[in-house]
Amino acid sequence: MAVGIKDISKKLKLSPSTVSRALNNKRALNSRGVPYISDKTVARVMKAAQELNYSPNGTARALVTGQTGRIAFWSPSMGSRFFQEVAYQFHQILRESQYEMLVGEFGPHMMDPANTVGFTRIDVDGVIVWGGALGALKPVLESNFPAKAPIVNMGLHCDGTLDFVNIDLYPASCEATKFLLDEGRSRVAMMITPATETEFDGRYRGYTEVMKERGLEVEFLHSPDSTRNAARATILKYVKKHGCPDGLFCANDEMGIGAYRGLRDMGISIPDQVTLVGCDGIQDLEFLDPPVSTIAQPIEEMCEQAWNFLKQRMKNSEMPHQTETLQAHLVIRK
């Protein structure tokens, strides 16, 4: 049988309210500024809780405090290595702050994001979401969820009324394209998805502007999605039909790995015949042979900043709009 607050109060001959305040570190002060509950009493309660193997009832605590002790992290795809690394970093931060993390997918592929289990049916104290400013997701978040729990958005296209941490990929994408050209590559192409092919995307804009500045034609490989399998199939089909570019900038690292595998399938040497650059900064590219250059997003910094914004918003729902823009950087691996 689970041990409760009443069991501890019975053992110590203290009131349940005193035990509850001691366990939850809620110690009211008297008129002289001295806590009604002494340090000695708190120590006795903590010792008894440990001896009795007390485990707090999350539901009961939520009813008393109005807080669940849970924070949600929503990403477009839990199959993506990049989002796995973001979730891991965010989990480390939350664990240090003594919060549990609820992880789920929240993307345009969902038929009805607003009514999906894990979003409306499980209470949380706050939400970090990646890409919540995209398409149909933006009005869903802005009209529904802020009233239920404060939200901070992270991503590449952040705008609107939500607090956000924006990642600027444009300068690093310009640098990546120039790097490929300065390596002596005469035919530099970019692998993109339908979501990437827009002037609002820093990767697409950086590549196209540098190519035009150099007086060169842009060349795009259109992958149906950003998975490794799709990129592998795309590069195989494209090279057979159009020949092989000698420089390739992939819009994310998942596609970079897929393109890498596809080029190797055809016996094409990297980097002798093709110089490859990815984008995101996942660890996998460093462990390829040879390792592949990439644009690294500041995962640790953006998670820290998003958590700071969320903590402030949980304290004060009426505070001014919070925004921050962080820069990605090119990591060159020879």
* pTM score above 0.85: no
What is the pLDDT, as a whole number, of residue 93? 94
Give dist(CA 237, CA 222) in Å, integer: 11
> How much is the mean pLDDT over the chain?
85
Question: Which class for 112: exposed (0-12), middle (13-18), buried (19 or more C-beta within 10 A)?
Answer: exposed
DSSP 120-162: SSS--SEEEEESTTSTTHHHHHHHHGGGTS-EEEEESS--SSS
* pLDDT at 263 exceeding the cut of 50: yes
Q: Which one is predicted more confidently, 204 or 72?
A: 204
Per-residue pLDDT tens over the stretch 226-239: 999 999 999 999 99
Which of 21-27's residues contact partners 24+ apart within 8 Å by CB, and which partners?
22/46, 23/49, 23/54, 23/56, 24/61, 24/64, 24/65
Average pLDDT of span 11-30 = 70
Where does the pLDDT of residue 119 fall: very low under 50, low under 70, confident under 90, or very high at 90 and above? low
The answer to whether 132 touches 162, Cβ cutoff 8 Å, is: yes
Note the pLDDT of residue 296. Answer: 97
The region, left, alpha or beta by phi > 0 then psi within -120 to 50, assigned to residue 155 is left
Q: At what angle do helices 253-265 and 228-242 cross, to 10 degrees?
A: 50
Name the residue among 334, 324, 330 with its Cα closest to residue 158. 324
Lowest mean pLDDT among 21-25, 199-203, 293-297: 21-25
Minimum mean pLDDT range among 105-114, 217-226, 283-292: 105-114
* Cα–Cα distance for residue pair 92/149, rounded to 1 Å: 21
Helices assigned H by DSSP within 183-321? 202-213, 228-242, 253-265, 299-315
Predicted pLDDT at 117: 47
E strand segments, the chain: 70-75, 100-105, 126-130, 151-155, 163-168, 188-192, 220-222, 247-250, 275-280, 293-296, 323-327, 329-331
119: tokens are 């979003």
pLDDT range class, residue 63, cuts 50, 70, 90: very low
Contact (CB, 8 A) for 71 and 101: yes
Find out whether 166 and 158 touch, Cβ atoms under 8 Å: yes
Identify whether the C-beta of residue 96 lies closer than 8 Å to the C-beta of residue 303: no
Question: In this predicted structure, what is the pLDDT of residue 49?
Answer: 80
What mean pLDDT do residues 310-317 have? 92
pLDDT in tens, 124-169: 889 898 876 655 566 666 666 555 788 898 988 776 778 999 999 9
Helix, coil or strand: residue 299: helix
Please say if the pLDDT value at position 29 is more than 50.
Answer: no
Residue 247: pLDDT above 60? Answer: yes
Cα–Cα dist 235/243, whole Å? 10
